[in-house]
């Protein structure tokens, strides 16, 4: 089969209805947890529990497909939302505000930049243009 044709779906994981096995397990665990926490009679609450099971499963699958890199994208988005820098990629601007486009009003005096007097060397005007130094 090495004639240059691409076999679609060759490296894809097993899915049932578009949801991977881990998403089905996540839906089943949500089913178990909901049956223990919210319902006293599981037999009478089975329609609601099945909606929770199927909804969680396909909700996780839809969330996974919303990101181009699937599981890695979900992990990175969750870690960024918690304030933890994701591994293997540069830190996003919301976690590293020093590199963001929003200007700081005043710099802390204890930073290395201020202690080394670099703020006097790289002084700038309010227009955002760098001032010419006389020295």
The string of pLDDT tens digits covering residues 32-71 is 999 999 988 988 999 999 999 999 999 999 998 888 778 8
Q: Which residues lie across from 20 on neighbouring strands? A: 15
Q: Give the CA distances from residue 85 to residues 11, 16, 66, 73, 89, in Å, rounded to whole numbers and listed in that order.
A: 29, 33, 21, 13, 8
pLDDT at position 83: 81
Q: How far apart are CA 20 and CA 64, in angstroms?
A: 10
pLDDT in tens, 96-124: 555 445 556 677 778 787 888 887 887 76
Q: Which residue has the higher pLDDT, 80 or 91?
A: 80
Q: How far apart are CA 78 and CA 87, in angstroms?
A: 12
Q: How far apart are CA 56 and CA 50, in angstroms?
A: 10
Residue-level length of the chain = 135
pTM, full prediction: 0.57
pLDDT at position 51: 96
pLDDT at position 71: 81
Contact, 27 vs 57, CB < 8 A? Answer: yes
- Is the dihedral angle over the CA atoms 59, 63, 66, 72 positive or is it negative? negative
> Tokens 């870690």 map to which residue?
79
Which tokens go with 108? 């802390």
Residue 6 has pLDDT above 70, yes or no: no
Q: Which residue has the higher pLDDT, 75 or 103?
A: 75
Which tokens go with 71? 């599981």
Confidence of residue 135 (pLDDT cuts 50, 70, 90): very low
Residue 5 has pLDDT above 60, yes or no: yes
pLDDT at position 56: 96
Q: Which residue has the higher pLDDT, 94 or 39?
A: 39
CA 23 to chain centre: 17
Residue 23 has pLDDT above 90, yes or no: yes
């Amino acid at each position: 089969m090495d004639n240059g044709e691409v076999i679609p779906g060759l490296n894809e994981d097993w899915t049932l209805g578009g949801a991977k096995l881990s998403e089905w397990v996540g839906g089943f665990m949500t089913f178990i947890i909901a049956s223990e926490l919210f319902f006293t009679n599981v037999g009478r609450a089975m329609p609601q529990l099945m909606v929770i099971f199927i909804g969680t499963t396909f909700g996780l699958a839809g969330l996974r497909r919303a990101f181009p890199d699937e599981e890695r994208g979900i992990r990175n988005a969750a870690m960024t939302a918690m304030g933890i820098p994701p591994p293997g990629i540069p830190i996003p601007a919301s976690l590293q505000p020093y590199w963001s486009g929003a200007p700081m009003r005043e710099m802390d005096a204890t930073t290395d930049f201020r202690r080394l007097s670099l703020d006097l060397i790289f002084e700038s005007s309010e227009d955002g243009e760098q001032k010419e130094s006389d020295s």
